[in-house]
Amino acid sequence: MIFWVKTACLFLIRSRRTSIVLTLMVLSAVSCLIFLSSLAMGVNDSMIRNSVGLFSGHIAGFNIPSTIKKEEFSGNSIVNVLKRRYVKGSIHFKDRVEMISMIGIQPLQEQKTSAFWKKATKGRFLKENTNEIFISESIAKGMGLVCGDTLGFSPGPLSDSDYQPKDFIVTGIYKTGIDQLDRGIAFCDIRAIKSDTPWNAAVFIEDGAKMDRVLQQFNKKNLNHLNFKTWKQLMPDLEQLIALNYFSMSIVIVIVFIIVSLGITSAFSIFILKSIREYGIMKVMGMTTKETVVLLLWEVFLINIIASFLGMILGVIIVLIFQNIGIDLSGYTSHNQYFLVSGVIYPRLTVYSLFLPPLSALFFSFPAAVWPALMVTRKNAVDILRGN
């Protein structure tokens, strides 16, 4: 076997120009596909980052008893846990009343981690420990509110007249583009509403970290009785979109390599035809059909392994460059709900994006060798040497 590997190596090395052309063909296909699949990963990451980063976090915890502190949720891969308290009630302004969900938040913590506060269209976001309110554009329009107005908020149903409305100053008006956040929602400092009611947690984790592992950490801390939902459960549409993205990328890779393998077949056939005399001579010397096929397969395998390896290096370099600078696609994503925070894509290498292209190249290279192998093995040595 070593002899055939060595012969195949010598054949490729000493057929320099053709080998370089074939190598470049596979190399460029592999590196391009590594970049494309890393870009697809980057698009997925960006969609997740944008969707969970706007408000909900990667994992949401509901109705957490007030006796449980948010510090209990800290652990590996957890970037931040945002504490929020939801109160249904009504806002009163002049003669107008509207039912809303008031969300008590920690303004500074929100500014560190989430992104919805950046969506202020008028005014500014909340300051710590104030009686300020940050309202959606739809509420502002419906109630005729502008920044600086003072409104009253009463928790509970409209009929509950026991509760004296509490005054809040409108400090900012926002619009996120997400219906659930833009309709009937207002934000205030969490200290401005009752503190003995259950709270909700928005858990933000590091990019690429496994949500299952984070949930396992919660289980170990005996927090498993709480109601947690991952973004996949909360946003099944996004999960489907990401699965679709993986699927389409895999199809693209397979199609590209079918096309590349046709190219390789043609190039390799020309390569073999150019040097068919050599195979004729080897056949005259007693090289069997099996040995001929082995030699050809080694040639194809070696050229593909080398080209794929070089393609992987080139692909990784390109991905790393764009991972640092990012690709700004804001122009194409500004109206897309999955890119509300940022349209900058950062390609990300994964086992899938790094190994699928070279493995596809190898997989498709063998059928590519079949036609040249048939060409050589079917021909009589004498016909080859005669040039027929």
Partner 1 sequence: MIEVENISKIYPSGRGVVKALSNISFAAPKGSTFAIAGKSGSGKTTLLNCLGGLETPDTGSVNCFGIDIHKLSKKQLTLFQRENLGFVFQFGNLLSFLTIAENIAFPLILNKKEVKRRTAELLEKVGLKDMATAMPFELSGGEMQRVAFARAIAHSPKMLIADEPTANLDTETGNQLVKLMFSQAKEENCTIILSTHDKSLIELADRVVHLLDGKDRNSE
Query: Is residue 387 at the binding interface for partner 1, with CB under 8 A as the rule?
Result: no
Q: CA-CA distance, 203 to 60, in Å (whole number)?
A: 6
Of 10, 255, 320, 321, the residue at the interface with partner 1 (CB under 8 A) is 10
Query: Is residue 15 at the binding interface for partner 1, with CB under 8 A as the rule?
Result: yes
Query: Is residue 14 at the binding interface for partner 1, with CB under 8 A as the rule?
Result: yes
Point out which span in 6-14, 141-149, 156-164, 340-348 binds partner 1 (CB under 8 A): 6-14
Point out which span in 2-10, 40-48, 116-124, 254-262 binds partner 1 (CB under 8 A): 2-10
CA distances from 169 to 124, 125, 251, 317 (A): 12, 12, 54, 52
Contacts of 3 (CB under 8 A, 6+ apart): none
Point out which span in 11-19, 142-150, 312-320, 346-354 binds partner 1 (CB under 8 A): 11-19
Query: Is residue 21 at the binding interface for partner 1, with CB under 8 A as the rule?
Result: no
Enter the tokens of residue 79.
């970037």
From residue 182 to residue 221, the character string flagging contacts with partner 1 as x (rule: CB under 8 A) and all else as - is ----------------------------------------
Nearer to partner 1, 4 or 301 (CB): 4
CB of 333 to partner 1, least distance (A): 53
Of 192, 203, 235, 287, the residue at the interface with partner 1 (CB under 8 A) is 287
Q: How many residues bind partner 1 (CB under 8 A)?
A: 23
CB of 231 to partner 1, least distance (A): 58
Point out which span in 144-152, 255-263, 281-289, 339-347 binds partner 1 (CB under 8 A): 281-289
Query: Is residue 274 at the binding interface for partner 1, with CB under 8 A as the rule?
Result: no
Which parts of this chain interact with partner 1 (CB under 8 A)?
3, 7, 10-11, 13-15, 275, 277-278, 281-289, 380-382, 385
